[in-house]
Amino acid sequence: MGTLQSKLELQQDLQLIALLQRDLNLVTAFLLLTGQISIVGIFINPGDFNLSLSGPIFGRARLESKFSNEPFINTVIDIIDVIIAVLLIIDEIQVIGAFIGPRRFSIVVSGPIFGSRRHVPTLPCLKREYKFYKKIVTKYFAVDPTVFRNI
């Protein structure tokens, strides 16, 4: 009986993680549609590629044409951002990670449509990454450690 209950709890936990992932995708789409972030780069790997998204909200300038008299280029960038947002909303791509650099932060998205496999949450991997994240963040950033105790 205990094994069945633990399997049920595991499935509920995995479902919660999937819902959080979905919320993260929707928030990212919202940030794209409101112009807070934009596509800033592409990571090309053998067989797939990932898109990097960032903007003023993450300490980076929004991608715009270098020529102020080229509204066509800015319109193309906006159209690409809308397409990425739609792909996030219809679940064709998803947030797969983050890139942290000096005074900047980027969200990385990809999915089967870009040749990447769909990322499915797993608890052992999540626990390992959470412990690593907690260690790094508390070591290098001024974060109240009680925040992690309450999660």
Sole residue written with tokens 């090309």: 44
- Write out pLDDT tens, residues 96-131: 888 887 777 889 999 999 888 887 766 666 666 666
Q: Are 31 and 140 in contact (CB under 8 A)?
A: no
- Write out pLDDT tens, residues 37-91: 999 988 898 889 999 999 888 877 777 777 666 788 888 889 999 999 999 999 9
- Write out pLDDT tens, residues 10-28: 677 777 777 888 888 999 9
- Is pLDDT of 145 > 80? no
pLDDT on residue 87:
96
Distances from the Cα of 89 to the Cαs of 12, 13, 85, 127, 134, in angstroms?
23, 23, 6, 27, 29
Higher pLDDT, 150 or 54: 54
Burial of 132 from C-beta contacts in 10 A (0-12 / 13-18 / 19+): exposed
pLDDT on residue 98:
85
- Is pLDDT of 1 > 50? no
